[in-house]
Structure 1
Amino acid sequence: MSLIDTLLRDLLFIPSHHQRNISKSRAICLVHNDWIQSVRQKNLHDIKWTRDIGRDDAALLLAPSHQKLPRNWNRVCIKVIKKSDAHCKRLFNGPFYNATPVSTCMEHLVQNARENFRNLWTSAHVTYSNEDVDMLHRAEDQFSNVVQTYLQRMNPNIYITIPDNREDHVFSKQLSCLHGNNTIPILAVIETVSVFFVVQPYIPCCLRDIVCYSPAIFDTSHAKSLFVLYQILQAMTDYHKLGLRAGVLNLQNIRVDDKLWVHCTSVQLSHLMNDTVRNNISTSNSSTSVLNIEDNEKPCTRTLTDSNSSPFKSISECSIEDSFRQTRSISRLSDCENYLDDASDVMNQFQFLDIPLESLAKLTEDWVHHRINNFKYLMYLNHLAGRRLGDPNHHPVLPWVMDFTSSHSGLRNLSMSKFRINKGDSQLDFTFEAMAELGDDGEHIPHHVSDVLSDITYYVYKSRKTPKHLLCSYVRTKWVPNEYPQNIERLYQWTPDECIPEFFTDPTIFSSIHEDLPDLELPNWCTSAPEFVEKHMAMLESEQVSINLNNWIDLTFGYKLSGSSAVKSKNVYLQLVDQHNNLTNHGVVQLFSHPHPHRLSSDKTLSLLPVRVKQTELMPGGQTSERDAVQTESPKIKLPVDFDPTAVLDHFEALHSFASETTECLPPSTQKEKVKQT
């Protein structure tokens, strides 16, 4: 259990299963109207209604893709800010600049352009001059006091202090407060001895969801994108008028509703944290205690330089590579146990991952050169595609790699989607052609695949651990245990969708909680669920799967999701071609637009050095050596049969083409050499 779970449970009386962490300092919480009423009355106490929502039902209601909530229940977003005595810069006392009132989007852009120009000159002056630009802004105060001032200006509806015998925080009336319509309002601030709790309404969709899952919303009219841009600029103006920074505004923390009203995430303190770190380098413990609870709301772009790493590696990139190397170097366990331990760490930290999209080329290069394993790389791709653990409509997916007839054979064809394998080419062709013949009327759209993992399949996979009422709601209205696959082989043959990570990591998923539904039978080549998970993971990491895994990536995240490649592969997804205008926060995402490079074989290494040719030394007693005999008969040097002098060049060209076409940047190793040359 994480620190934020404990704090919310012990101080705000929100049960752990009513929480879903979305970062290291934010959680979505399922609360009753009685809890909200008690907050408004400044009378927090242990509410007895928590027993009405079970663990599985609460997990479903907390999934971002789930929209409908039971009566009298609400979802709120709670941010936890840990107090610290470390010093940081005070907030700016007054507006950042004397902005004139604006009413149009163009006026906003002109005003921001002028301010950006002024900030560049100010930054240059601070960098290259020893003069102080603004002594008031450089003044320092304790981090906790700065946060109080920040929250005061954010104009919360309620401010509560715990314990109750402490005096309520009195807001200063000299400073104005935020009243903007494009920021998420603060329902309440709850201050304890050690932390601040900031309670805000939860808005499930963000601007990234429109770009990734519903891009047709902006395609129909330029006015919609301009409307969103205007609201973002207006929110920034509201912040700047109060001397507050808008923080890191990215597609993830700009929330939107179905009417395209924008609500920027209001509480972002990353700039204060950075000031704290810079001002307390010698006392890293205090600054670390603050940063550990801070949001992962921005890509980690700080760089580390050493003799063995590229200066372009970010902290997140270094941890991706170094963690795997460290695990492989210090562990004495078998490969399978290493893979399982590594996979367990990935699953536990998946909800806290914050990998910037700019790291995609580096991740691919690491996977190609065996610096990260298959499971970790695939989970990182799921993360970049926006998939979330425990969300029935958007759960991470992994490939089915075998048909379970044998522990070392029966490999699945990774060049075809599981939907195609299950349905067959003839049925897919019939569906695609039938839709095409009906015409392009917006209702009959030619496609092959509906979804990579449906909510029905998700619950069938987890039927042994899911309550019956949920199975009857999503799988079959009438409870018939025999309708569920009885063994893993039958499950593989039945499903048209891809696999889930739990079948590679969690032995308990096969054990049933239902008296009339037996445990999922495992193949006869394993004696227990832990053994099956171990061998299943070993097959995923095997050489046979690794050399073909790039084909599956092309189908699930790559270039075979669009264009003629998708039609040829019978892999046209409905959601990617239906031009839907409804806002959704789940679906299929194409990460790559170029063929994914294959993984290098583990028994071959690429080297720029010439291949070594074994030669025998001169024989004693003046005898002629074998080398001399060979040179006499033929001047040719015999090279190994599998030696390919162009392998290095072919591999580099493929990786370079993939990185430049897909991410519009060179591979990190190339960037490093380019910097050295300049």
Structure 2
Amino acid sequence: MVVTLRYTFDGHLLLTTEGLYFHQVDDGINVITKEPCPFQKNDRRWLLSRLTDVGARRYMLRTQALELFFADGHEIFLNFLSGQKERNRFYAKLRNSCKIPMIFSPKSLNPRVVFKKSKVTEQWIKRKISNFDYLMALNRMAGRTFNDISQYPVFPWILADYQSEKVDLSDSRSYRDLSKPVGALNPSRLAMLLERYQELESFGFPPEEKFLYGSHYSSPGLILHFLIRQEPFTSMAIDLQSGKFDCPDRLFFDLKESWKSCNTSSSDVKELIPEFFTMPEMLLNLNNFPFGKTQKGISVNDVDLPPWAKGSAHEFVRIHRLALESEYVSCNLQNWIDLVFGYKQRGLEAEKAWNIFHHLSYEGSVDLDKINDDIDRKAAESQIQNFGQTPSQLILKNPHPSRYGLEISWRPLIFNVSAMYL
């Protein structure tokens, strides 16, 4: 199966020493509506000489997929319906039997092994790569992809000031606390959620199925919420709402209100996506979509920005990216990494950090193939596909190392200039 952002396609895959061929056998399936969408059945071909990287992926929490990256920018997400063994056999053939001069992928498909053997953490610690590039690398190694709306890359909220005329990026008070998940940023809301969490056992929840947050920080609905002004996300959002836009009051139209909701609502713990640091167009209604008016009579058009953005989406993204690369974030980003990709993602450490989500968001929590009842299996599949999936855990036990300080990273090659003339 080929998985794309909006459709999945069943077919047959043929691997030769020179190329990869896919023969589509059925109509595409809309990932939102699950309805067939007739397409002309075209065979596809990719030259392996242009293959640069291969990454292990999950599909519906099953570790049975791969993503292939090519030098021309093409990407293919392949889900092997026969399971992990078929995927691993294909990957072994790809590495050992084909002429692939540019491939950089490690032999292992285990995300933790890939992470451990990569040098990207060392590069980040030594400030040889940016915070943005490091987060993208972690997302990729943890199985996040732009080809599956259920596993979209996740980035943190960085700033906490969306109302000042000027934001001071040297002031720690301008930033969100990166050591806590979004749901734990507001003490009063956290207290309410903890009370509910303790009561779940009395409602018959097994200890391993208790959750602090009923929603997730990344899900298809949240991605479409943020990217509703950009195709194909606009059409996907319409599909999600049965052929129309959602109620204007629920659309993404005010950044300050979005941040407020994440700090006050018991059901809103969303994080951000990479586009907040790279793509000002996501904040502009360049296609003039008719989003309607809110109950207060406000026309939903471009996203309302903080005063410090001076009404410019480009200025917002510029400052937001500077904030991501700031010294405060560089010194604290490892704490957020521990929550999302690291040792505080699951288990006792996650509980201590108030970082517990629905058990069906975690890899290995359920074996869908062993659920015999069709209704129960479809319910589990719907939960997994629509309500958030936690990334693969890259670090099991230890805290993520901190980044070097500027005084270490920028140490001069020669300390005693006068010694040069002795």
TM over 0.5: yes
Q: Which residue identity does 1:588 align to in structure 2?
A: P
Which of 579, 591, 595 is 2:394 aligned to? 591
1:601, 1:75 → 2: CA distance?
A: 55
Instruction: Give a deviation string over 1:13-55, Cα, whole Å, max 9, x none.
Output: xxxx9899xxx9769897875xxxxxxxxxxxxxxxxxxxxxx
**Which structure shows the bigger proportion of residues in strand conformation?**
2
Pair 18,552 (structure 1): closer, same or farther in 2 beyond 3 Å: closer
Q: How many residues align?
A: 338
Instruction: Tell me by how many angstroms 1:377 deviates.
Output: 0.5
Q: Which residue identity does 1:427 align to in structure 2?
A: M
1:27, 1:536 → 2: CA distance?
A: 42
Which of 428, 434, 457 is 2:199 aligned to? 434
Which of 32, 36, 59 is 1:70 aligned to? 36
Pair 439,75 (structure 1): closer, same or farther in 2 beyond 3 Å: farther
Query: Which residue of structure 2 aligns with residue 209 of structure 1?
Result: 58
Q: Which residue identity does 1:549 align to in structure 2?
A: L
- Contact 1:30–1:73 (CA under 8 A) maintained in structure 2: no
Q: Which residue identity does 2:139 align to in structure 1?
A: N
Instruction: Tell me by how many angstroms 1:457 deviates.
Output: 1.2
**TM-score, normalized by length of structure 2?**
0.65
Query: Which residue of structure 1 aligns with residue 184 of structure 2?
Result: 420
Instruction: Tell me by how many angstroms 1:390 deviates.
Output: 4.7
Query: Which residue of structure 2 aligns with residue 54 of structure 1?
Result: none
Pair 485,452 (structure 1): closer, same or farther in 2 beyond 3 Å: closer
Instruction: Give a deviation string over 1:251-281, Cα, whole Å, max 9, x none.
Output: x9893447x884643995654655xxxxxxx
Pair 567,270 (structure 1): closer, same or farther in 2 beyond 3 Å: closer
Instruction: Give a deviation string over 1:66-107, Cα, whole Å, max 9, x none.
Output: 793515559988442379xxxxxxxxxxxxxxxxxxxxxxxx
- Contact 1:214–1:580 (CA under 8 A) maintained in structure 2: no
Q: Which residue identity does 1:430 align to in structure 2?
A: E
Matched, 1:379 2:165: no
Instruction: Give a deviation string over 1:196-253, Cα, whole Å, max 9, x none.
Output: xxxxxxxxxx99638x9458x9xxxxxxxxxxxxxxxxxxxxxxxxxxxxxxxxxx98
Pair 26,414 (structure 1): closer, same or farther in 2 beyond 3 Å: farther
Pair 587,550 (structure 1): closer, same or farther in 2 beyond 3 Å: closer
Q: Which residue identity does 1:591 align to in structure 2?
A: L
1:415, 1:75 → 2: CA distance?
A: 49
**TM-score, normalized by length of structure 1?**
0.42
Pair 543,473 (structure 1): closer, same or farther in 2 beyond 3 Å: same
Pair 402,28 (structure 1): closer, same or farther in 2 beyond 3 Å: farther
Matched, 1:554 2:348: no
Instruction: Tell me by how many angstroms 1:452 deviates.
Output: 2.7
- Contact 1:18–1:30 (CA under 8 A) maintained in structure 2: no
2:364, 2:61 → 1: CA distance?
A: 11
- Contact 2:19–2:47 (CA under 8 A) maintained in structure 1: yes
Instruction: Give a deviation string over 1:463-489, Cα, whole Å, max 9, x none.
Output: 222566633443697642233242211
**Which structure shows the bigger proportion of residues in helix conformation?**
1
Q: Could you tell me the percent identity over the aligned residues?
A: 25
Q: Which residue identity does 2:336 align to in structure 1?
A: W
Q: Which residue identity does 2:143 align to in structure 1?
A: G
1:534, 1:566 → 2: CA distance?
A: 33
- Contact 1:213–1:589 (CA under 8 A) maintained in structure 2: no
1:606, 1:70 → 2: CA distance?
A: 57
Instruction: Give a deviation string over 1:588-627, Cα, whole Å, max 9, x none.
Output: 32111210111122134598x9x98x9xxxxxxxxxxxxx
Which of 272, 280, 283 is 1:499 aligned to? 272
1:360, 1:520 → 2: CA distance?
A: 41
Matched, 1:398 2:172: no
Q: Which residue identity does 1:499 align to in structure 2?
A: L
Which of 46, 70, 75 is 1:80 aligned to? 46
Q: Please give the secondary structure, in 2, of the residue aligned with 1:559.
A: coil
- Contact 1:255–1:265 (CA under 8 A) maintained in structure 2: no
2:40, 2:197 → 1: CA distance?
A: 42
2:48, 2:138 → 1: CA distance?
A: 32
Unaligned residue ranges in structure 2 (runs of 5+): 1-5, 10-17, 65-76, 263-268, 293-299, 370-383
* Aligned 1:551-630 pairs, distance under 5 A: 551-574=335-358, 575-576=361-362, 579-582=365-368, 587-593=390-396, 594-605=398-409
Q: Which residue identity does 1:558 align to in structure 2?
A: G
Pair 27,415 (structure 1): closer, same or farther in 2 beyond 3 Å: farther
2:195, 2:217 → 1: CA distance?
A: 20
Please report the RMSD computed on the Cα atoms of aligned residues, expressed in angstroms: 4.6
Query: Which residue of structure 2 aligns with residue 316 of structure 1?
Result: none
- Contact 2:237–2:245 (CA under 8 A) maintained in structure 1: no
- Contact 2:61–2:363 (CA under 8 A) maintained in structure 1: no
Higher relative contact order (CA 8 A, sep 6+): 2
Q: Please give the secondary structure, in 1, of the residue aligned with 2:209.
A: coil
Unaligned residue ranges in structure 1 (runs of 5+): 1-16, 34-57, 84-194, 196-205, 218-251, 275-289, 302-353, 615-678
Query: Which residue of structure 2 aligns with residue 459 of structure 1?
Result: 224
Which of 223, 228, 237 is 1:471 aligned to? 237
